Amino acid sequence: MIQTPYLLFLGDAPDQLAAKVAQGIKDWRPENAVGQFRMEGCKADMGLADMSLKEAKAAGAKTLVIGVANRGGIISQEWKKVLVMALEEGFDLASGLHNLLREEADLVAVAEATGQQLHDVRIPDVDYPIANGIKRKGKRVLAVGTDCSVGKMYAALCLDKAMQERGLKATFRATGQTGILITGGGVPLDAVIADFMAGSVEWLTPDNDDDHWDIIEGQGSLFHVSYSGVTMALIHGGQPDALVVCHEPTRDHMRGLPGYSLPSIKQVEDMALTLAQVANPNCKVIGYAINTQHMPEADAKAYLAEVEAKHGKPATDPYRFGSDALVDALADMT
C-alpha cells in the first residue's frame, strides 16, 4: 500500500489531459490530495493549493505521486531534480509510468540513503497465487465493457462513492495503474503473468462480511482481441455476484482496432454472464453504465431510456446522472 495523503506532482504537464492520474485522485479521493506541485510551464491545474515540498510535508503529505504522463512516459531530468529533493524531504514516490522509478539509478540511490520507498504501480510487487476457484464470502460486482476505455473505472468509482454515502459496506478494488494510485493499492492486472491473472483477482477480493461489496474495476473487453484474456481472468477470478455492462454509444470501432466493430450490449451481457456463471452460478447482470459524455443531455437521456426499455434493467450514466438504480439493485442482493 502507498502511504496517504499525497502531494500531486503535475510537473510540466502540457495540458490538463496529461494530468489524468492527478485528476482521478482529486475527483475520487480528494481527502488523499493535500496539494499540488507544479513546475515552470505547467499547463494543468487541479484547483488544489500549490505547495512547495516543505509546505506539503508540514501539511502531512507522505507520498509524492506522479500525477502526469509526459510524452513517451519517461522521467525527465527536470522532473528528477524535484523527485530527488522530495526523497530528501522524506517523501515516498509513487508512479504508474512505464519508465520505472526503480530503473533510475540516482533515484534508487537516494531512496536507499534516505530510507524512502519507490512505488512503481506499473508492475506487481506481490507473488500472486494460481486461482483456486473456491467460493469466497461477501459480494462482488464487476464492470464489464463492450470495449476498452468505455468508463468501467469511473462506473466502479461512482458505485463505490454512492454506496459509501448510503452507509453500505463497499470497497473499490483497483485493477489498473490509475485506480491503484487513486486508492493507494490494487493489482496492476495487465502486468501480471498469465498463469496468475485470475489468482491475483482472487487475492484482491478475499473473504469478507456477507453484506460487503467489492466493486471490481474492469479491464479490456471480452470482445477486444488484444486484451480479452485479462477480462476473462477478472470474470473468473472475481467470481462476481453482479455484473454492470458498460458502453460508450458514439464509438465507431473497437479502441485501437479499426477493422473491429463494437459488440452489442446484449452480446456482451450474454457472453459475460455465461462465463461468470462458471465461477458463480448465481451471478446476474444488474444494469448498464453508459458513458454519455459525447452526447447532449436530451440525447443521453433518450438513449438511457431506450436501453432500459430494450433490456429491462436500469441504465444510467453514473457520472452524469448518478447510480441510485444500480446501488438499489446491489442493496437488494444483500
If one asks whether residue 192 binds a second copy (CB under 8 A), the answer comes out as yes
Contact by Cβ (8 Å): 153, 319: no
If one asks whether residue 263 binds a second copy (CB under 8 A), the answer comes out as yes
If one asks whether residue 203 binds a second copy (CB under 8 A), the answer comes out as no
H or E element at residue 93: strand 92-95
Residues 6 or more apart in contact with residue 128 via CB below 8 angstroms: 187, 192, 196, 199, 200, 203
Contact segment (CB under 8 A) with a second copy among 58-66, 67-75, 126-134, 314-322 equals 126-134
If one asks whether residue 132 binds a second copy (CB under 8 A), the answer comes out as yes
- Give the C-alpha separation, 53 to 58, whole Å: 9
Q: How far is the CB of 321 from a second copy (least distance, A)?
A: 31
- φ, ψ of residue 129 to 5 degrees: the values are -80, 170
Q: How far is the CB of 49 from a second copy (least distance, A)?
A: 37
Q: How far is the CB of 100 from a second copy (least distance, A)?
A: 14
CB atoms within 10 A of CB 223: 22
If one asks whether residue 87 binds a second copy (CB under 8 A), the answer comes out as no
If one asks whether residue 230 binds a second copy (CB under 8 A), the answer comes out as yes
Contact by Cβ (8 Å): 226, 256: yes
Q: How far is the CB of 81 from a second copy (least distance, A)?
A: 31
Place of cell 452526447: 295
Coil, strand, or helix at residue 169? Answer: strand
- Give the C-alpha separation, 141 to 242, whole Å: 5
If one asks whether residue 226 binds a second copy (CB under 8 A), the answer comes out as yes
Select 101 or 279, whichever has its Cβ closest to a second copy.
279
- Answer for which of 142, 153, 222, 272 binds a second copy (CB under 8 A) is 222
- Answer for which of 231, 291, 292, 316 binds a second copy (CB under 8 A) is 231
Coil, strand, or helix at residue 8? Answer: strand
Which residues lie near a second copy (CB under 8 A)? 130-135, 189-195, 197-199, 222-223, 225-233, 235-237, 239, 254, 256-257, 259-260, 263, 271, 274-275, 278-279
